[in-house]
Amino acid sequence: MRIGMMSFAHLHAEAYIGNLRAIHDVEMIGIADDNTERGQHFANQFGAPFFSDYDSLLAEKPDGVVICCENNRHREQVEMALAAGVKHILCEKPLATTLEDAQAIVQQVDAAHATLMTAFPMRFSPPIREAYATIRAGKLGNIIGCNATNQGENPGYHRDWFVDKRLSGGGAVMDHTVHVVDLMRWIFDSEIAEIYAEADSADHPLFAAPGLHIDTAGILMITFTNGTFVGLDCSWSRPNYYPTWGNVRIDFVGERGLIVVDSFAQHHITFSQPNRRPLWDYWGSDTNQALIDEFAASIRENRQPMITGRDGLKAVEAVLAAYQSAETHDTVKLA
């Protein structure tokens, strides 16, 4: 199968390209980016063909595309791919920055009888899968609540657009809510009933950096229809001198006890240079590879991927409800 990559705006594209190439029956046909400088840079770095506009990549009639543009342009690129007859799309998270865009994406994919996968690699994390299996087997009893963090460093250190609200749709809450929301929907097989959030405002970010006008800190309380509540800290509270980028940690508190998951605990600590911070070098499984494997498998087997566009849409709904709650200081119910 032939797969093209649309935009290298998101950092994850740098992983996905290698993940695509690692699959025996995938031909990674090239990188398209309308930011010529960025596209050319990564095409050179990865020794890949470069297309300076998306139409010329799509003219190659790829079986699938991987979209890693800025969050607010996901809809535009999905529409472009569908119009060119692409039947399988993998889109970076969050699926969109508005409900309207997210709904339009899902509807148009359905209308085109195409498939859309939202990039939630944490579903492939082996520690998370272990917890999933234990919980689904009923060993923890009913789940009462979860204490979760998806904290990270400010991604603006690596890419400017993450901290430009017009392009990203929001800061920490937009960036770091969707992963855990998706995991919980999947693990509990339950939808969100209500959200309450305390977050900072774009005008007064708690972790201010010069010239930064975006939310940087948030704690959400998400109540599912099954009664489980999940406290989620999505703050960009790791300094850029922390030994790693951040974490996904979840304590599952159930009737029969507790499961503590630290998804990135599989690391060793490296002290390699005087006067430099030690680094946590992760040696656990490559969740991005598993994500891309599943995307390729869904194309190969011509089936829905295990994570769909609707999953992406539900996560966007949660993010927008959290922003609404943080602004109104009241709970927000989801349909």
Which residues sit at the interface with other proteins, rule CB under 8 A?
144-145, 147, 149, 151, 194, 196, 198-200, 204, 206-208, 217-219, 221, 223, 227, 229, 231, 233, 235, 237-239, 242, 253, 256-258, 329-331
Please state, in angstroms and rounded to a whole number, the distance separating the CA atoms of residues 334 and 14.
Answer: 35
> Any idea which residue has 């699926």 for tokens?
95
User: Least Å distance between CB 249 and other proteins?
Assistant: 11
Of 102 and 332, which CB lies nearer to other proteins in the complex structure? 332
3-state class of 296 per DSSP? helix
Least distance to other proteins, CB of residue 145, Å: 6
- 332 burial level (CB within 10 Å; 0-12, 13-18, 19+): buried
Q: Which is nearer to other proteins, 257 or 278 (CB)?
A: 257
3-state secondary structure of 10: coil
Q: How far is the CB of 273 from other proteins (least distance, A)?
A: 21
Q: Say if CB 186 and CB 231 are below 8 A apart.
A: no
Separation of alpha carbons 208 and 98, rounded Å: 25
Q: Name the residue nearer to other proteins (CB basis): 66 or 172.
A: 172
Cα–Cα distance measured from residue 233 to residue 248, given in angstroms and rounded to the nearest whole number: 10
Q: From the CB of 9, what's the least distance to other proteins, in Å?
A: 27
CB of 254 to other proteins, least distance (A): 9
Q: Which is nearer to other proteins, 97 or 325 (CB)?
A: 325
Distance CA 247, CA 96 (A): 23
- The H or E element containing residue 120 is none
Angle at 46 between CA 44 and CA 48, to 5 degrees: 75
Minimum CB distance to other proteins, residue 236 (Å): 9
- CB nearer other proteins, residue 262 or residue 286: 262
Q: Which of 113/256 has CB closer to other proteins?
A: 256
| C-alpha to C-alpha distance for 121 and 263, rounded to whole angstroms | 12
DSSP strand pairing (115-118 vs 88-91): parallel
3-class DSSP assignment, residue 96: coil
Of 258 and 297, the one with the shorter C-beta distance to other proteins is: 258
3-state class (DSSP) for residue 247:
coil
**Which of residues 144 and 334 has its CB atom nearest to other proteins in the complex?**
144
* Least distance (Å) between residue 171 CB and other proteins: 13
Least CB distance to other proteins at residue 50 (A): 40
Of 214, 211, 183, nearest to 199 by C-alpha is: 214
Q: Dihedrals φ, ψ of 231, to 5°?
A: -85, 125
